[in-house]
Chains A and B, each alone.
Chain A
């Protein structure tokens, strides 16, 4: 049986100096891991800042309407009681 273990650490570093310090600390942790798992590897990379409007949830472009779609009104508790 083959297994792969990922240890994920998300870091918010103030600047490159702080990032380098974090890198050293993570590398020291890796050294401890390597005592038990000699083939362990470290991949450290910069992540891009998330934008305010993620592309995955952009609204659908209006297509040519079929006329089959009903107009929906939102349910209101106040109106139903």
Chain B
């Protein structure tokens, strides 16, 4: 009988289906932007534990192909806007496509599908069904 993917795997598959060339670095950045819309590249670098240059390249790879400074794979999930409190700075928001992906992932997370099933032979005792 087929099983459902666990929530993490299902979420990653949703992202891969949307953009086959997406990497773990892109995925982390996208998920942090989902939870922190309006953050700047410096803050993205901080939460992703990387350099500002890498965070900038990653964010640019998540923007749409027609965006200025867009890089491959140009997923189109994120857009860069002028910071309303600092005209020289840019802040990151989800595009409608990115928001749709976020909502689909949110549904998967709320479904809370674990990796280890109660019927798995190697399941910890606390998860096993009483027979």
Of residues 33 to 66 in B, which have CB atoms within 8 Å of A's CB atoms? 35-43, 45-47, 49-52, 55
- Known contacts A66-B85, A68-B36, A68-B37: A56-B51 contact under CB 8 Å: yes
Residues of B within 8 A of A62 (CB): 42, 46
State the main secondary structure of chain A at its contact with B: loop
Size of the chain B interface, CB-CB below 8 angstroms: 22
A64 near B: Cβ within 8 Å? yes
Point out which of B37, B39, B86 has the most chain A C-beta atoms below 10 A from its C-beta: B39
Q: Name the distance in Å between A63's Cβ and chain B's nearest Cβ.
A: 3
Our count of residue pairs bridging A and B at CB distance below 8 angstroms stands at 52
Q: Is B89 close to A, CB under 8 A?
A: yes
Most central of B38, B39, B43, B45 by chain A CB within 10 Å: B43
Q: How many Å from the CB of B73 to the closest CB on chain A?
A: 22
- Number of chain A residues close to chain B: CB under 8 A: 16
Q: A61: which B residues are within 8 A, CB to CB?
A: 42, 52
The complex places the Cα of A70 from the Cα of B34 at a distance, in Å, of 11
Closest chain B CB from A65 CB (angstroms): 7
Main SS of chain B's interface residues? mixed
Give A60 to B38 CA distance when docked, in angstroms: 18
Our pick among B35, B50, B91 for the contact of A60 (Cβ within 8 Å) is: B50
Q: Please give the distance in Å from A53's CB to the nearest CB on chain B.
A: 13
Chain B 84-107 interface 0/1 with A at a Cβ cutoff of 8 Å (1 = within):
011001010000000000000000
Q: Please indicate the chain A residues that have their CB under 8 angstroms from the CB of B42 in the complex.
A: 60-64
CB distance from A1 to the nearest CB of B (A): 27
Query: In the complex, what residues of B have CB within 8 A of residue A70's CB?
Result: 35-36
A:34-80 near B, CB below 8 Å: 56-70, 72
Complex CA gap A72/B28 in Å reads 14
Specify which chain A residues have a CB less than 8 angstroms from the CB of B46 in the assembled complex: 59-60, 62, 69
